[in-house]
A and B are shown apart, each in its own frame.
Chain A
Amino acid sequence: MNYFLDFINSGDHFSYVLSSYLIVFFIIFLIFILSNTKTKKLEKEFVNLIKNEEKK
């Protein structure tokens, strides 16, 4: 706990560390969400195509 309290009270260093963590996690979660969205969209498109094929 002492390490964390020292970190929070470290002034400038706190903002450097926090911003780097936020940026890295933002990038990783962004690629994760974009990949998921793209795949779900393709899955939907594929299901629709299969349905249309069956109707024919």
Chain B
Amino acid sequence: MIFNLANPLRFQRLIERIEPITLNIAITLLLVGLFFCFFGSPPDYLQGETVRIMYIHVPCAWFSLMIYSIIALCSIFSIVFKHTLADLISRSCAPIGACFTLATLLSGSIWGKPTWGTWWVWDARLTSELVLLVIYLGLILINNAYEDKSKADRYASILAIIGIINLPIIKWSVDWWSTLHQPASISKFSSPSIDPSMLLPLFIMTFSFFFFFISILLVRVRGEIIQRKIEVIRFNRMA
């Protein structure tokens, strides 16, 4: 099954079937999530109403890391097995990951103003997340810098693998250094230090963002497959 899907053309057929389903699930979950965010969850005793920013900031932060992990895995797969589909997924993920990272930084900055009294501070968590955005931008630049796509994919894979070092720094920066950013509240699912009335909208929004990510990824992968087909036709014409 997996090896069947590793063929870009079969994968494209599967994408065309899944794409509208994922988008519909994402929109439905978003509407349900927004209802729970504003009607079903109480304000925080300390942060007040600004705690509602958490329901979009935290999923964005999780996805900024998850998407990078996917890129890193695909890059390793691409370098070891030289598989086109890994390159296509990696290439398609980079702009989505950059958007989620930018959303994390902006929503976090807006949350920081009423909570910490400042928009930005060069704190370990914030700085490492900014470094992640720079790495994403680097990947996008490399992917678009070369006409020879295989060369671009190889260089982007190398950068993505080097950039893995930033992931544990982002995750554990709040434990390793004294930071203004609070430590993780949902590190243990058995006893999270967050009330269930706040946990529910957080998880619904996370699932909604997950399906949005899948939906956007499928559209972009389909585009990349078509672009490669166009290049093959043009190459054959020239030959």
Q: Chain A residue with minimal CB distance to B52?
A: A17
Interface string of A18-29 (1 = CB under 8 A from B): 011101100110
Query: Would A16 and B230 be within 8 Å (CB), given that A4-B38, A27-B99, A38-B223 are in contact?
Result: no
**Bound Cα distance from A22 to B191, whole angstroms:** 32
Q: Does B85 contact A (CB under 8 A)?
A: no
Binding site of A, secondary structure by majority: helix, strand, loop or mixed?
A: helix
Q: Complex formed: what's the CA distance from A4 to B78 in Å?
A: 49
B56 near A31: Cβ-Cβ < 8 Å: no
Q: Within the complex, which residue of B99, B114, B212, B233 is in contact with A13, where a contact is CB–CB below 8 Å?
A: B114
A residues in contact with B216, CB < 8 Å: 31-32, 35
Complex Cα distance A20/B57, Å? 9
A24 to B103, CA, bound (A): 5
Contact B230–A49 (Cβ < 8 Å): yes
Instruction: Categorize the interface residue count of chain A.
Output: 20 to 34
A28 to B102, CA, bound (A): 10
Contacts of A36 in B (CB 8 A): 219
A28 touches B49 (CB 8 A): no
Residue total for B at the interface (Cβ-Cβ under 8 A): 39
Asked, given contacts A3-B39, A7-B43, A46-B230, whether A13 binds B103 with beta carbons under 8 Å apart, the answer is: no
Contacts of B41 in A (CB 8 A): 3
Q: Which B residues are in CB contact (< 8 Å) with A31?
A: 95-96, 99, 216
B107 located at the interface, meaning its Cβ lies under 8 Å from any Cβ of chain A in the complex: yes
In the complex, are the beta carbons of B106 and A42 less than 8 A apart? no
- Is B56 a contact partner of A21 (Cβ separation < 8 A)? yes
B113 partner, pick from A16, A28, A43, beta carbons under 8 A: A16
Q: How far is the CA of A48 from the CA of B4 in the complex (A)?
A: 29
A-B contacts besides A12-B114, A49-B234, 6 pairs, CB < 8 Å: A10-B49, A23-B106, A24-B107, A28-B103, A31-B99, A39-B222
The chain A residues found within 8 Å of chain B, CB to CB, are 1, 3-4, 6-7, 10, 12-14, 16-17, 19-21, 23-24, 27-28, 30-32, 35-36, 38-39, 42-43, 45-46, 49-50, 53
Q: Can you list 8 residue pairs at the A/B interface with Cβ under 8 Å?
A: A6-B43, A16-B111, A23-B107, A32-B219, A42-B223, A46-B230, A49-B230, A50-B233
Residues of B bordering A, CB below 8 Å: 38-43, 48-50, 52-53, 56-57, 60, 95-96, 99, 102-103, 106-107, 110-111, 113-114, 209, 212, 215-216, 219-220, 222-223, 226-227, 229-230, 233-234
